[in-house]
Amino acid sequence: MAALTFSLRTTRNHPLILGKGGFGRQLADWLAEDGWGNAVFLDDNAPDCAGKLRDFADPALLKPGRPAFVALGDNELRVTLLQKLAAAGYDTPVYISDAASVSPSAVLEPGCVVLPQAYVGAGAHLGAGCIVNGGAIVDHDAVLGRGAHVAPGGIVKAGAEVAPFAKVDSGEVVRSPWDHT
């Protein structure tokens, strides 16, 4: 079974999303479509947010069991903020789009996001805060280090490893260790 991190106290109401750029807005759309309710955003630059990124500890935002996601392209910052959110008392669940395919034996650590049309195979392991974007493939027994991002159409072949905080770009293929071509 995929290691999902919904605790018994997790609610699916009004998730907090750090980052209101394109990825954050897309994530909010998918969360709403999947029944999570309307997201509240924190962002240092975007309009119409509840505050800045650092405002996650504001008592008006911090509610027991509130899910929080980090939708930033800076892979290291995404993991750092996930750790701070968890320490502050937020839940940092895994989000798997209803339109994605994830093997029950895959392990997804807290804060991972798997978007529509993505595939995560049997025995794959995704470290905390990974993004598997739309149409990306993480084949069986592949390992993504924490904060790794597989962009739309990126492929991580069977048994391959992606370093922490690395990005597999669109159209890029990370080959299996036994694949010499």
Q: What's the rounded mean pLDDT across residues 4-22?
A: 70
| Structure confidence at residue 142 (pLDDT) | 98
Distance CA 136, CA 31 (A): 19
Percent of the chain with pLDDT over 70: 92
Distance CA 30, CA 1 (A): 23
pLDDT in tens, 106-165: 999 999 999 999 999 999 999 999 999 999 999 999 999 999 999 999 999 999 999 999
| Structure confidence at residue 44 (pLDDT) | 96
Residues 6+ apart with CB under 8 A from 148: 75, 126, 127, 130, 131, 162, 163, 164, 165, 166, 167, 168
Show me where the domains of the chain are located: 16-88, 95-174
Distance CA 146, CA 112 (A): 9
Pinpoint the alpha helices (H) of 34-173.
Answer: 75-88
Phi, psi of 171 (to 5 degrees): 80, -10
| Structure confidence at residue 65 (pLDDT) | 82
pLDDT in tens, 19-30: 999 999 999 999
Alpha-carbon distances of 3 from 19, 40, 50, 55, 124, rounded to whole Å: 25, 26, 31, 29, 11
Whether residue 7 has pLDDT greater than 50: no
* DSSP conformational letter for 21: S
- We find that the CATH architecture of domain 95-174 is 3 Solenoid (2.160)
Distance CA 164, CA 68 (A): 21
- Is it true that 16-88 and 95-174 share their CATH fold? no
| Structure confidence at residue 1 (pLDDT) | 38
**Is 16-88 a CATH 3.40.50.20 domain?**
yes
Type of residue found at 171: G
pLDDT in tens, 56-102: 999 989 887 899 999 999 999 999 999 999 999 999 999 999 999 99
Confidence tier at 5 by pLDDT (50, 70, 90): very low
**Residue whose C-alpha is closest to residue 171's, from 130, 135, 145:** 135
Mean pLDDT of the chain: 92
Distance CA 66, CA 92 (A): 9
Confidence tier at 13 by pLDDT (50, 70, 90): confident
